[in-house]
């Protein structure tokens, strides 16, 4: 019998654990303590490196206050050729959830629009562009800004 191999579902489950953990304001250490594993084990679950057993999935869902099915959200949607990253997968990216939470807390729609435009300009300027360059701001000599 062959060894258990990581699957796309393991990656989805790990990503969902991470997104839900961050949304609840829990550290990897705190989640690990509550389900009686190390933070390193939580890291491996979140990265999809280690598979999560059914009993542990139940504990994680209980601690996060979600139905166990929430951990599988998006698992039935295999990415198609030419299809972009799913919105749920994007939330698993570093800082993405924090950015969305901060954005949603803004009441000023004009400010929201400006932030979206700035992010789009940074993206289209390439990864080497600074925020100042992408937004059209020029640095003043010696300003350190």
Q: What is the mean pLDDT of residues 130-140?
A: 53
Structural domain total, the chain? 1
Query: What pLDDT, in 10s, does the model give residues 51-63?
Result: 999 999 999 999 9
Query: What pLDDT, in 10s, does the model give residues 1-41?
Result: 445 777 888 988 999 999 999 889 999 999 999 999 999 99
Query: What pLDDT, in 10s, does the model give residues 64-101?
Result: 999 999 999 888 775 544 445 667 777 777 888 888 88
Is 78 domain-assigned?
A: yes
Give me the CATH number covering residue 28. Answer: 1.10.260.40
- pTM of the model as a whole: 0.65
Is 68 domain-assigned?
A: yes
Is 47 domain-assigned?
A: yes
Is 48 domain-assigned?
A: yes
What's the domain range around 58? 8-82
- DSSP letter at 70 equals G
Integer Cα distance of 50 and 43 in angstroms: 9
Residue among 12, 14, 6, 7 nearest 85 (CA): 12
């Amino acid at each position: 019998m062959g060894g258990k191999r990581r699957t796309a579902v393991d990656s989805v489950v790990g990503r969902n654990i991470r997104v839900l953990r961050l949304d609840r304001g829990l550290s990897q250490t705190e989640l690990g303590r509550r389900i009686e594993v190390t933070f390193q084990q939580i890291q491996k679950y979140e990265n999809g490196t280690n598979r999560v057993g059914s009993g542990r999935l139940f504990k994680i869902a209980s601690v996060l206050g979600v139905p166990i099915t929430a951990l599988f959200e998006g698992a039935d949607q295999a990415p198609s050729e030419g299809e972009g990253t799913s919105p749920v997968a994007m939330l698993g990216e570093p800082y993405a959830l924090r950015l969305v939470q901060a954005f949603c807390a803004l009441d000023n729609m004009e400010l929201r629009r400006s932030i979206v435009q700035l992010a789009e300009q940074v993206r289209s300027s390439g990864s080497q562009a600074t925020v100042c360059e992408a937004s059209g701001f020029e640095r003043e000599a010696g300003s350190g800004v």
